[in-house]
A and B are shown apart, each in its own frame.
Chain A
Amino acid sequence: MAISLTKTDVVIVGLGAVGGVAALPLARAGLEVVGLEAGAWLTPADFAPDELRNNVRGWPQAVQKANHEVPTHRPNASAPYSTRPAIHPMMNAVGGTTLHYWAQSWRLNPWDFKVVSETTRRYGASRIPKGSTVEDWPFGLEELEPHYEKVEYELGVSGKAGNLNGKIDSRGNIFEGSRKREYPMPPLRGTGFSEMMATAARKLEWHPFPGPAAINSRTYQNRAGCAYHGYCNRGGCHVNAKGSTAVTTIPKAQETGRLKVVTQATVTTVEADTDGRVSGVNYLKNGVEYFQPADVVLLASYVYENVRVLLLSKSKAYPNGLSNNHRQVGRHYFSHNQGASVTALFPRNLNNWYGLPAQGTAVDDWADDNFDHSGLDFIGGGNLWIYSDRRPISAADMNTFDRAPQWGSAWKAFVKENADRWNTAYLQKTTLPYEDNFLDLDPTVRDPLGFPVCRITADFKDNEKKVAAFIQDKMVQWFMTAGAVATARGQLGTMGPTTHAYGGTRMGNNPETNVVDRWGFSHEAPNLGILGASVMGTSGAHNPTLTAQALAWRTAEHLAKNWKTIRK
């Protein structure tokens, strides 16, 4: 029998990227918040610049609970078996994966909110790929704009505006939607390599600019500026320059005295009354079972865990899982089209040894609908991103471009000369949701507590493959213009567990096709809010985190403003 605790106003499940953001407006509004976090507090001493531990052995991901519940994956429902990677891409800790993420903090472009209506208007309805369940968002970029701004200032995002109140500035992204306010900090500095690439992009008459990052380019709110030491990627920040929620919104919320952080708390299920309202959550801590009653529950775990907790929370009112009477939980799942990279070999050292994945040059000319698709057979596009990030093990294990064997003296001579002469571009591309890409519970694989893990059934479709090939062509062109002597194209890959997962509890006005309403609250359980990229219906061509955080802020602000109605 679970120990029942004192009731709180709001319980947040997960204090990561989105739960850690939502806590702040709630606590500031005077609400009592309990934040349940499966992981622990980590400190800068945990973030040693150690490639073997962080990048090869996956220490940041392996320290906590997520690693025991890695989702399985199969490409389609008739696949004979599922595969399961050894390490979960996400981690548990106060701050969650914002501790070790790249911190690229993009706003989505205006088109991403209106893929269906804009595609139909410009090219005709037949251009929406067959089988896609994509919908317009229930609102446009302009409605999310104030929340983007709020989060950029609370976390501290470095960048350069490309569209300030309609005024286009080519030092930033000229394709972005209008913003009311400049970034709180200038962009992270350029490097010799990023400037070399920017020059090449201009030669092609493209529009290069430094990408936005939730990393301090100078001291901000008493946190240091970035040290550019090269181990940011899956390593965490040793000087707290990265704007993880663990060092920004969560401590700010704690300062109000109204956020109680409970660590090592593994939430198992959300309880619902017979009238369909949720009453609180069950969790385990140190082997003891607790029930935390609350007027409002905000589910703020990662996409896979949000869906899993909902499907595991069965009750009289929700026999198919919480908020799943319309059978939409787990639907409209997609994972970002991040594979299909391009790697280039240059005839000179690039000095990529230091820096970070968020320090680089972006090109958005081929993203979204920023170019004319009339003569093309796909919709959407990709963001081209080159950055300075190199560590010795991966540098030595480089692609040899068929110019050297894989071992022995000839290999050694090759890597001695070329370890610092290659670069891999990061290409994020439009991905759409489809009827037959979905999440559910695995019928056989269980976590150590005996609960089924999440199962991914998903595969890239024609539109995604065509976007990938098109974007790789553009990237090859960019690298060659910059002086590369060889390029190699990466595979598109499978749609297994990823850090860029979307959908499963999609947001929309229609309860027949969406789990949450325009504010992020369940269409079925009115006092259940869902935070994270699981509510997003499109990916755009940019990292999801800032958008998920802006949505979290918006949901929390809506809750605070309408507290009496929502708590009932």
Chain B
Amino acid sequence: MANKTDDERVTLSRRELLKRVGIVGVAAATVPAQALVPAAEIAPPVETSLSPQAVALPREALETFTAVEAATVEAMVARLIPTDENGPGAREARAAHYIDRALSGALASSLDAYRSGLSALDSYARASKGAPFAQLSTEEQDAVLTDLEHNVATGFAPNASTFFNLVRTHTIQGTFSDPYYGGNANFVGWDLIGYPGVRLAVTANDQRLDPHLIPTHKSAYDYTMFSKTRPARASREGREGLEGREGREGREGWEGRAPWRLA
């Protein structure tokens, strides 16, 4: 059954895919598929035609969000750190995927804030712009987000700017954290700010003012001494992993193929 579904997904057109996840509207709906494509293959963020070959989707589920919530978050992060002339943004980094996963784990205490905040965001977008947030134009989305940031948007508990800052914080985490956690795909976040990457040893030359370092493009967990070959590791993540999220990762992701290596 699962295999059949996967085979189908590969051949689905984008429009069909969108229908399946129950989303109408172009801007938001391009997100789930596009985010899985290596940054280099993403030219303009909207209205790219994705060939079936390019959308060889890995098996993947939303772990926390509903499909509608996921689309709204995707649209939000894409405006917070946009894809533009300075290169890929939070969308290509898969910040929303990071958030979706983290809300079932380390950020579980924020789940209620997301549920109510995303609902309030859509209500406010409908009331002020006439459509759910994900279906607005980017200009309209920016106007709505500005209202949240300045805490003038209504209907949020405790208030709009708290929700805005929560999502901003997690978008930054999802864009610039170690890709192990599901964001910073293809190291687009680290490349954006010029972080030359995780190294286990750094020379004096590497610490000069103009070192010209080549990015390592390595996760901490690409180094075997930190990898999950040590199930007894006394860590919160490790304990979680034996039972839940990382356990799955361990079987299907880490030991098989690092999930952020999509190219």
Contact = CB atoms under 8 A, between A and B. Distances in A.
Are the chains A and B members of one assembly? yes
15 contacts: A48-B220, A52-B173, A56-B177, A62-B236, A192-B211, A229-B200, A351-B207, A353-B196, A396-B172, A396-B189, A407-B81, A408-B142, A412-B82, A412-B192, A415-B192
Contact of A388 (B180, B207, B220, B225): B207
A152 interface: no
A158 to B, nearest CB: 15
Contact of B168 (A48, A193, A406): A406
A499 interface: no
Interface string B118-139: 0000000000000000000000
Given A49-B220, A396-B172, A412-B82, 6 more contacts: A63-B235, A229-B198, A392-B195, A393-B176, A409-B85, A412-B192
Interface stretch (A8-16, A39-47, A244-252, A279-287): A39-47
Given A63-B234, A229-B201, A354 B207 contact: yes
A45 B230 contact: yes
Interface in B103-160: 106, 142, 145, 149
A196 B209 contact: yes
A159 B237 CA distance: 37
Given A193-B209, A407-B168, A419 B199 contact: no
A51 B196 CA distance: 14
B79 to A, nearest CB: 7
A420 B210 CA distance: 11
Contacts of A227: 200-202
Interface in A187-212: 189, 191-193, 196
A349 B200 contact: no
A51 B172 CA distance: 12
B195 A45 contact: no
- 5 closest Cβ pairs, A-B complex: A192-B209, A419-B193, A48-B226, A52-B177, A191-B207
A262 to B, nearest CB: 16
A215 interface: no
B25 interface: no
B80 to A, nearest CB: 5
Interface in A91-130: none
Contacts of A349: 194, 209-210
B32 interface: no
Contacts of B178: 50-53
Given A349-B194, A396-B175, A192 B207 contact: yes
Given A349-B209, A408-B142, A53 B194 contact: no
A62 B106 CA distance: 12
Contacts of A191: 207-208
Nearest to B208: A192
A62 B211 CA distance: 36
A396 B176 contact: yes
B84 interface: yes
Given A395-B193, A416-B192, A49 B200 contact: yes
B234 A408 contact: no
Given A51-B177, A348-B209, A408-B82, A420 B199 contact: no
A238 interface: yes
A408 B202 contact: no
B206 interface: yes
A89 interface: no
Interface string B225-244: 11000100111110000000
A59 B192 contact: no
B84 A409 contact: yes
A396 B200 contact: no
B199 A412 contact: no
A118 B207 CA distance: 42
Given A409-B82, A420-B194, A57 B106 contact: yes
Given A354-B199, A407-B80, A408-B82, A228 B207 contact: yes
B28 to A, nearest CB: 18
Contacts of A230: 199, 202
B233 A392 contact: no
A484 to B, nearest CB: 15
Given A49-B200, A396-B176, A396-B189, A407 B86 contact: no
B239 to A, nearest CB: 9
B202 A412 contact: no
Contacts of A348: 209
A355 interface: yes
B254 interface: no
B181 interface: yes
Interface in A363-410: 388, 392-393, 395-397, 406-409
Contacts of B234: 40, 42, 46, 63
A354 B209 contact: no
B195 A238 contact: no
Given A45-B225, A48-B221, A351-B208, A392 B202 contact: no
A45 B79 CA distance: 38
A96 to B, nearest CB: 15
Contacts of A51: 177-178
B263 interface: no
Contact of A50 (B81, B180, B213, B233): B180
A63 B207 CA distance: 32
Given A50-B178, A51-B177, A229 B202 contact: yes
A179 to B, nearest CB: 27
